[in-house]
């Protein structure tokens, strides 16, 4: 039996985001659509429609037209949702920008995306976004015409100057969102995702959890990832469920309070978030009885953690999902009726209207069931491509439409999958995807560094942490903290190496290729991380 399966057939959504949103407003006008607790905002679907309409008019007044790129650089807030729906209404493309980005990261995104407008927070407890934007713009040739500060007169002025937009585009195959991911080379790639990609993935994810309009999602994950903006907000749009933001950034206490006071039925998170919630001093005193289901994803899920979420958090129908941004994002998901044993040992089965096969990397042939190979997927969910990079697109999606994930997996006879490793060098730290080459290229700019190689090390709390082996120029000296200081404020905090080792040479093959797996093995041994590396995960 070969490792190939196609999910069940069912009708897909052949509409745009705006068409689905308007349908939900008509169907559920008085039901709560959005609750942003940290902003003290509560909106019904009718009230949300009013905000989206004003935001769309504001965009049109700025000169934003179909196909233009509009960036959102902010932690979770009501305006994020307004802008997501408003850009879809006017036919613009929303570009998600990670709030952790610093000037080096931001300049690259601004240049690559060609965005005409950027919406951003002015500052928060951790970051002065306005200042970073100024640094990113220095000496750069950008298409950026407007920088709108959320929660200020800048936003108010845009709304006040709004102009009724033209008719909303109707093609569900239009690109509506670009999300930057590490892709297959050192620089992040702009993944182009369509209305059809995102709405159907949102629909199928909600369907797997048996969602209804009465469901209430506590969205602890950020909006700038697919987890938040597809599986979260767009799933709520499709089903008419309530989207609840407990805080601007993840806060375990705020999540627990929101679940109890708002009677949430669904909770999302990466493993580190669930650990923080379960270990919080408030947890024993909070009533989690309203919870029914949710998704744990974004990083390998420890088995014992999943058992606690199902038992202690009362999430009897908690699921695990697996996917990648290029797949909109979910490829496989467990069922609410799966046994706990199945849910903690696999990443579920293939989603409806989705194909998956496991191939031998060398021959390209589909392997036998139980044999490890690269997981590939095909169907409505595959991205339109990498923005302005047809060569990288061709490497990721073959001529038959198969998206090559770069992940190693096995398929069982019953159609359930296990993720067993990665072909690509991606580091996944607390749900954040990090490509080592990007950090290596940045550190090569340090005047004292002659060469550097970056790998991921197992981390009990975050899944993986960043390690850098550094060779200095002859005669130079440096400390670990000096290297980290060089990174701080210039690259995202999650890319800064936790571990740094100064070396005189790197392990090489006879042909001169650095053996990163040897670096990793040596570090695991020297740092006594073998037990963490062997932690059982689904």
Where b means 16+ CB within 10 Å and e means fewer, 54-79 reads bbbbbbbbbebeeebbbbbbbbbbbb
pLDDT tens sequence across 408-446: 899 999 999 998 877 777 888 988 888 888 898 889 889
What is the value of pTM for the model shown? 0.87
The per-residue pLDDT for 184 is 41
Helix (H, G, I), strand (E, B) or coil at 209: coil
For residue 300, CA distances in Å to 303, 337, 418 come to: 9, 21, 10
pLDDT tens sequence across 8-53: 999 999 999 999 999 999 999 999 999 999 999 999 999 999 999 9
Residues 6+ apart with CB under 8 A from 224: 72, 74, 96, 97, 98, 99, 179
The per-residue pLDDT for 299 is 67
> Considering only CA atoms, which of 189, 174, 60, 183 is closest in space to residue 113?
189
The per-residue pLDDT for 510 is 54
Start-to-end Cα distance in the chain: 23
DSSP summary character for residue 453: E
43: which 2 tokens? 């909106």
Give me the residue label for tokens 């937009």. 165
Total Cβ atoms within 10 A of residue 398: 13
CA distance 16 to 167: 13
> Considering only CA atoms, which of 323, 329, 296 is closest in space to residue 409?
323
Q: 439: phi > 0 → left, psi -120 to 50 → alpha, else beta; which?
A: alpha
Give me the residue label for tokens 């090569």. 444
Residues 6+ apart with CB under 8 A from 242: 31, 32, 33, 34, 35, 215, 216, 217, 236
Q: Which domains does the chain have, with CATH numbers?
A: 43-170 (3.40.50.980), 427-533 (3.30.300.30)
Total Cβ atoms within 10 A of residue 447: 8
Give me the residue label for tokens 């927070």. 121
Q: 357 — phi, psi (to 5°)?
A: -140, 155
CA distance 268 to 220: 6
List, for the chain, all residue ranges whose pLDDT scores fall below the cut of 50.
Answer: 183-185, 511, 538
Estimate to the nearest angstrom the gap between the alpha carbon of 508 and the chain centroid.
Answer: 34
């Amino acid at each position: 039996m070969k490792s190939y399966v196609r999910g069940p057939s069912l009708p897909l959504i052949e509409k745009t985001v705006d068409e689905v949103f308007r349908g939900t407003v008509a169907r559920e006008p008085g039901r709560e659509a959005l609750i942003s607790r940290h902003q003290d905002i509560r909106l019904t679907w009718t009230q949300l429609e009013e905000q989206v309409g004003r935001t769309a008019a504001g965009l049109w007044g700025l000169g934003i037209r179909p196909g233009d790129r509009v960036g959102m650089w902010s932690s979770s807030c009501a305006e994020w949702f307004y802008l997501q729906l408003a850009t879809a209404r006017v036919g613009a493309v929303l570009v998600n920008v990670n709030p952790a980005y610093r000037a080096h990261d931001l300049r690259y995104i601004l240049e690559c995306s060609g965005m005409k407008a950027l919406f951003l927070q002015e500052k928060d407890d951790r970051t002065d976004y306005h200042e970073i934007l100024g640094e990113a713009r220095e000496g750069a040739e950008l298409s950026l015409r407007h920088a709108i500060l959320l929660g200020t007169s800048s936003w108010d002025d845009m709304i006040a100057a709004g102009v009724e937009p033209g008719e909303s585009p109707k093609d569900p195959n239009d690109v509506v969102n670009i999300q930057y991911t590490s892709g297959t080379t050192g620089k992040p790639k702009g993944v182009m995702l369509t209305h059809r990609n995102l709405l159907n993935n949102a629909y199928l994810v909600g369907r797997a959890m048996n969602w209804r309009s009465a469901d209430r999602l506590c969205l602890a994950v950020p909006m700038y990832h697919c987890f938040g903006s597809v599986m979260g907000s767009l799933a709520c749009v499709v089903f008419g469920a309530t989207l609840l933001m407990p805080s601007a950034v993840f806060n375990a206490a705020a999540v627990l309070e929101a679940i109890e006071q708002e009677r949430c039925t669904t909770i999302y998170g990466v493993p580190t978030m669930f650990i923080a919630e379960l270990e919080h001093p408030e947890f024993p005193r909070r009533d989690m009885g309203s919870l029914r289901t949710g998704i744990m994803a974004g990083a390998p899920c420890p088995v014992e953690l999943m058992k606690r979420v199902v038992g202690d958090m009362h999430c009897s129908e908690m699921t695990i999902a697996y996917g990648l941004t290029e797949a909109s994002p979910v490829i496989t998901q467990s069922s609410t009726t799966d046994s706990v044993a199945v849910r903690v040992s696999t990443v579920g089965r293939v989603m409806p209207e989705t194909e998956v096969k496991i191939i031998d990397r060398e021959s390209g042939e589909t392997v036998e069931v139980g044999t490890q190979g690269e997981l590939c997927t095909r169907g409505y969910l595959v991205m339109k491509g990498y923005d302005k990079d047809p060569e990288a697109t061709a490497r990721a999606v073959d001529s038959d439409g198969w998206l090559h994930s770069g992940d190693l997996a096995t398929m069982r006879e019953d159609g359930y999958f296990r993720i067993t490793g990665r072909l690509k060098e991606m580091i996944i730290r607390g749900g954040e995807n990090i490509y080592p080459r990007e950090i290596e290229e940045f550190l090569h700019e340090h005047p004292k560094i002659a060469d550097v190689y970056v790998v991921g090390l197992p981390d009990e709390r975050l899944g993986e942490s960043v390690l850098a082996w550094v060779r200095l120029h002859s005669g130079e000296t440096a400390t670990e903290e000096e290297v980290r200081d060089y990174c701080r404020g210039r690259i995202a905090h999650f890319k800064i190496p936790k571990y740094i080792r100064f070396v005189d040479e790197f392990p090489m093959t006879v042909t001169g290729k650095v053996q990163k797996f040897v670096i990793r093995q040596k570090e695991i041994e020297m740092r006594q991380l073998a037990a963490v590396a062997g932690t059982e995960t689904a």
